[in-house]
Amino acid sequence: MRIAICGSLAFAKEMLEVKSKLESEGNIVTLPKNVERYADGTIDVENKWEKVQLDVIKKYFDEIKNSDAILVVNKDKNGIKNYIGGNGLIEIAFAHVNNKKIFLLNPIPEMHYSDEIKSMNPIILNRDLSKINPENPDRKLPGVGVGVIVMKDGKILLGKRINAHGGNTWAFPGGHLEFFEKFEECAKREAMEETGIKIKNAKLLTVTNDILKDDKKHYATVFVTADYAEGEVANREPHKYEEWKWFDKLNIPNPLMLPIQNLIRQFPEVLK
């Protein structure tokens, strides 16, 4: 199922956690733009001018329209239990008129528009995400990730991961493939989002089957080769990476993230 996560950006950290859990169940999940930056405090969630500049509300309607359902993350805020703000109400209404399933993480809050929310028949999960796929709640499907092998003057760009997934290992830029997205487009997007650089000549290389038992995750990782184009390397997602460095192909660091280990076993010439 393709699910768009909605709700107050004050719950950005919870949104990221819910996204990870849903993806582990085989769902395709989208988030409002820059949720990671709200989660780590880079953008002030109370700064409404930032929301206007980034056009957060309007741009997300297309994601909702292209999804099968929305999941509203509603927690306590402003002294209100399971808060759903004005933006959340608009997103619920938009999903309703577009015949999308509506899930609420927690029960409907007691607010002056509670009846309006009830009239749109949301499904209350009570924090049990398995209710989203009741026809087969135990079924899990692998995710699809894209890894970008960026080359510059014979060197490869690698970042040291610090989060739970692949923590303390080195990895290429990359991330989840979005719905309707080409591999090469994903490679360009992830390179920019994580490191701030532009790439060119992106080409499909190979695919690895990566089973991370310790993390209870399973991915098909699509590797794309590309050349550095322009920009200064910057750590734009410090909650995921400690640093980024260029390494000579014959002197890459260890330990490497499992997909890269599998890549080298399957395609050793990538480091030649």
pLDDT tens per residue across span 93-152 = 999 999 999 999 999 999 999 999 999 999 999 999 888 876 555 567 788 999 999 999
Question: Taking 70 as the threshold, does the pLDDT of residue 51 lie above it?
Answer: no
How far apart are alpha carbons 244 and 270 in whole angstroms?
A: 20
pLDDT value, residue 139: 61
CATH 3.90.79.10 intervals, the chain: 143-271
Question: In terms of DSSP bridges, do strands 174-176 and 143-152 run parallel, antiparallel, or are they unpaired?
Answer: antiparallel
**Can you tell me the distance from the alpha carbon of 231 to that of 86, in angstroms, rounded to the nearest whole number?**
38
- Intervals of CATH 3.40.50 along the chain: 2-132
For the domain spanning 143-271, the CATH number is 3.90.79.10
- pLDDT, mean over the chain: 88
Contact 183, 177 (CB under 8 A): yes
The predicted structure's pLDDT at residue 47: 56
What confidence category does residue 63 fall into, taking pLDDT thresholds of 50, 70 and 90?
A: confident
At the top level of CATH, the class of 2-132 is: alpha beta
Backbone angles phi, psi at 80, to 5 degrees: -110, 125
pLDDT of residue 161: 93
Mean pLDDT of 21-44: 82
For the segment 175-233, what is each residue's pLDDT rounded down to a tens digit?
A: 999 888 999 999 999 999 999 999 999 999 999 999 987 777 899 999 999 999 999 99
